Structure 1
Amino acid sequence: MTQSPFRLDGNTVLITGAGGGIGRSLVAVFREAGAEVVGADREAGLLDGLPIVRQVLFDQADMAATRAAISADIAAHGVYDAVVANVGFTRAEHLGMVDDAVWAAELNINLNGAYALTDPIIAAMVERGRGALVFISSVNAIAHFGNPAYSAAKAGLIAYAKAIAVERGGEGVRANVVAPGSVRTPAWDHRLAADPSLLDNVLPHYPLGRMVSPVEVAHATLFLCSDAASGITGTVLPVDAGLTAGNLRFVNEVLRGK
């Protein structure tokens, strides 16, 4: 019987930010698909209870520490078959809240750290002749929804993924991007506790009438890492309940008069 191309049996997958809301769903979905998961995060306690084969600990805001931790893990265990670069951080910001320190901090963790993470991995994948990377970016990389420094960093991930796809594709390495919209993770809990009406302002922008779940992001990521996507590289896949397809609120308020 031919194995499903969506399965990852026998594959080792590195998932960063594995202890977060999206990260934990990524670990669960990849394990269900048969992958051996290496979980990475800032602290060991964040990875408690996860079905992972080992931990790699580093703060992605520190490029040197990130590169050193990943290089050491590759030297000890070999390179991964696939990598999900999931780490990301921002606060709710607009341009009036951005200064040099905010700009530098958000680019460091969201873009510079992702480069330091994946650069040694890509070199090892090229030497082996195959590998897949998926960067978890954001709809903020495609259109502006606030968070300007974060948005610039996440847009940088798209450009970086395309560079990998073009320059390393001939050596067997694929790179793609998943761009989630608002994801209903525990990070929303404190915001909703402070303002229970917040969703009344958020959901009218989404054609599906809801936020996406972490599992939906994980399923799209699994597809791009699997052989089912073997001919796909350099692409951006929004998982955003239709947000970037168009302006539903404009249609409803201006054209329909709702």
Structure 2
Amino acid sequence: MTELRRFEACGVLITGAARGIGAATARRLAEEGAQVLVTDVDLGEAERTAASIRELGARAEAFVCDVGERASVEAAVAHAVDTFGSLDVLVNNAYGCTPDAPLFEDEPDEVWARDLDLTLTGAYRCSRAALPHLVASGRGAIVGIGSVNGLQDFGNHAYSAAKAGLVSLTRTLAGHAAPRGVRVNLVVPGTVRTTAWEGRDVDLELVSELYPLGRVGEPEDIAAAVAFLASPDAAWITGTTLCVDGGLLAVNTGFRQAVRRRDGA
């Protein structure tokens, strides 16, 4: 457990927090003193995550939240405020990602709409509902979870477009919220070892070769970045997009490897 206590008595709501990056973030913030509402459409898994946090001696509750439904989002925000006395941090982690059709022209409207609604509009719904409470807390922060897909081509048309939209929403909302004392930032992960890659260890091993730091990310890598941006340590940071991607976007590893092969290295 970390010895930092940057979130003592803070109320935190995290979407899509039953597993993966969301669960790791819930644990990290709880370890630093936060009271965490673990929200997800899967209440059973959310409760298991919350229970594991309570075993650490921290406070956590589970609550159903479908970011695709305004009423569900508003109920989750209200529950966090009623339960913890304030809402100080919102982490927009929930998303939708549907595999692409083989041909772009065969993509159904429903798939496009669903991925954008859950990933981009869901973050909008949550931020809209939470913002007045974050303002009232006097130390409010929103941290979104983006993706390298929103900055470069890695496939998944709708998901990537939605994640790119989060980059823009982060900037515009940061500008709006700054005079009201709320900071808004975005973490952009590369490949992270989550349940989305379950049973694909060989693929992860191959992908890791593309990362300058020699490995894919772990959920805890992303949780640490979220904790920083949500904390007072980032008190003068807003509207930023922080890549936590093992150097993937900064270094063209494939090109470097091709040059070394050409040179016989």
Same fold (TM over 0.5): yes
Per the TM alignment, residue 71 of structure 1 is displaced from its structure 2 partner at its CA by: 4.6
Per the TM alignment, residue 35 of structure 1 is displaced from its structure 2 partner at its CA by: 1.0
Aligned equivalent of 1:222, options 222, 227, 232: 227
User: Secondary structure of the residue that 2:30 maps to in structure 1?
Assistant: helix
Q: Note the residue ranges of structure 1 that are not aligned, 5 or more in a row.
A: none
Per the TM alignment, residue 36 of structure 1 is displaced from its structure 2 partner at its CA by: 1.1
- Counterpart amino acid of 2:41? R
Q: Percent identity?
A: 39
Matches within 5 A, 1:155-234: 155-192=164-201, 196=202, 198-234=203-239
TM-score (norm 2): 0.86
Per the TM alignment, residue 161 of structure 1 is displaced from its structure 2 partner at its CA by: 1.3
User: Secondary structure of the residue that 1:38 maps to in structure 2?
Assistant: strand
Aligned equivalent of 2:61, options 30, 49, 54: 54
> In the alignment, does 2:116 pair up with 1:107?
yes
Residues 81 and 128 of structure 1: is their aligned pair in 2 closer, same or farther, counting only changes over 3 Å? closer
Q: Is the 8 A contact 2:14 2:36 kept in 1?
A: yes
Q: Is the 8 A contact 2:88 2:133 kept in 1?
A: no
Q: Is the 8 A contact 1:139 1:240 kept in 2?
A: yes
- Determine the C-alpha separation between the residues in 2 that align with 1:95 and 1:82: 40
Name the structure 1 match of 2:56.
none
TM-score (norm 1): 0.88
Per the TM alignment, residue 149 of structure 1 is displaced from its structure 2 partner at its CA by: 0.6
Name the structure 2 match of 1:10.
9
Residues 28 and 206 of structure 1: is their aligned pair in 2 closer, same or farther, counting only changes over 3 Å? same
- Determine the C-alpha separation between the residues in 1 that align with 2:98 and 2:252: 24
- Determine the C-alpha separation between the residues in 2 that align with 1:227 and 1:163: 21
Aligned equivalent of 2:75, options 69, 90, 96: 69
- Determine the C-alpha separation between the residues in 2 that align with 1:179 and 1:94: 25
Name the structure 2 match of 1:84.
91
Q: Note the residue ranges of structure 2 that are not aligned, 5 or more in a row.
A: 54-58
- Counterpart amino acid of 2:75? A
CA RMSD of aligned residues (A): 2.1
Per the TM alignment, residue 96 of structure 1 is displaced from its structure 2 partner at its CA by: 2.1
Q: Is the 8 A contact 1:162 1:234 kept in 2?
A: yes
Equivalent residue pairs, number = 250
User: Secondary structure of the residue that 1:245 maps to in structure 2?
Assistant: coil
Matches within 5 A, 1:25-44: 25-44=24-43
- Determine the C-alpha separation between the residues in 2 that align with 1:256 and 1:66: 54
Q: Deviating runs (4+, > 6 A) in structure 1?
A: none
